[in-house]
Amino acid sequence: PTSKDFTCWTRLLSNVTRIHVVNMNHLDVGYNGIPATGFINNILNIYFHQYFPRAATLAEQILHISPKDSFIYTTHPWLLSMFFDCPQNLVLAGIKL
């Protein structure tokens, strides 16, 4: 079958009962985009104020829509430690986390 003939997928997937979708993102705390995004403080803020809340919201939505399914967000342990244990109003190099 050709790549345009999707009937082959129907046969191949007829016995499939579960599909796992695995995704990974690259954490770059490097120096591109300085000073707007390159400093680690800015990268941490993106994770703390955008990525982590979005992941939590998505997990709740999936649980609500389909309790048998789940969304598991993986990240670096030190990021989670900073997120949960970071002192309030911490400022690094003049940037509030």
**Alpha carbon 71 to chain centroid, angstroms:** 10
- Please report the DSSP string for 9-42 in residue order: HHHHTTT--------------SSTTTTTS-SHHH
How high does pLDDT run on average in the chain?
80
Q: Yes or no: say if 95 and 34 are a contact pair by the CB < 8 Å rule.
A: no
Give pTM, 2 decimals: 0.66
The answer to whether residue 2 scores a pLDDT higher than 60 is: no
Number of other CB atoms surrounding residue 46 within 10 Å: 11
